[in-house]
Amino acid sequence: MATNFLVHEKIWFDKFKYDDAERRFYEQMNGPVAGASRQENGASVILRDIARARENIQKSLAGTSGPGASSGPSGDHSELVIRIASLEVENQSLRGVVQELQQAISKLEARLNVLEKSSPGHRATAPQTQHVSPMRQVEPPAKKPATPAEDDEDDDIDLFGSDNEEEDKEAAQLREERLRQYAEKKAKKPALVAKSSILLDVKPWDDETDMAQLEACVRSIQLDGLVWGASKLVPVGYGIRKLQIQCVVEDDKVGTDLLEEEITKFEEHVQSVDIAAFNKI
């Protein structure tokens, strides 16, 4: 039963009708002027401003104001006068402020000057100028004339006197004596003699050569600066032996060529002579 009743009910489907009726009711209560004022609110203000601007432009161009527009320009002029007066008042106040600041700054400067003068570190004393006299040329002291007594004393002082001459003679004698002693010492010192040690190989003709006789012949050679040393027989081969003998010679007096020449003179016993070793002493 309940569902069938709601099916035939049309209240929800006709809701816009009730909304329209409610709107018309409130419009009748507020009156038609309120609605028109809401529509013309923005446009009326703009139109009034435009009309006033046009009137001001026309009046400024014409230079005169019409009889019906006396209230417009008089209002503008009064506003300008008020603004100019306010600007003048503000300017005067600013001038007063500037004057006060200048006075304060001057007072601060005066106080700073007083403080600087009173502080000992900032006291500035004027430098005292000293009068400098021109330089005078200093004359050298006059030389006193020498008296006869001073001349005699100067004559007595001999800078190159006999004492110095005697000392020079003694020094020369001492130097000569030392040179002579050095020359004598050098003459007594034996001179260094260059010597050499030579090892000779003296070869016989064959195995029948008397080696003792051969050695005696070699040692029979006597020369200044020659000293014979040890000797021995060294086998060569096939029963043949050679004589190996050592000698010391002075290089300035005896040479190897001289030794070979003297030894080979014994032709009966000596076939040849060779130098096996040669050393400086």
- Predicted pLDDT of residue 57: 77
Average pLDDT, stretch 8-24?
68
Query: Which are the contacts of 209, defined by CB distance < 8 A and separation ≥ 6?
Result: 269
Per domain, the residue ranges of the chain are 199-280
Residue 33: is its pLDDT beyond 90? no
Give the model confidence (pLDDT) of 69-117 as tens digits.
444 555 567 777 788 888 888 888 888 899 999 999 999 999 888 888 8
Whether domain 199-280 has CATH 3.40.50.1970: no
Higher pLDDT pick, 178 / 38: 178
Percent of the chain at pLDDT > 70 equals 66
Tell me the average pLDDT of the chain.
Answer: 75
Which has the closest alpha carbon to 125: 136, 117, 137? Answer: 117
| Tokens coding 46 | 């703009």
Average the pLDDT over each of 71-75, 196-200, 248-252 and give the range with the smallest value.
71-75
Block residue for tokens 């040329």: 137
Give the model confidence (pLDDT) of 118-175 as tens digits.
866 545 444 454 444 444 544 555 555 555 555 555 555 555 555 567 778 888 888 8
270 close to 204: Cβ distance less than 8 angstroms: yes
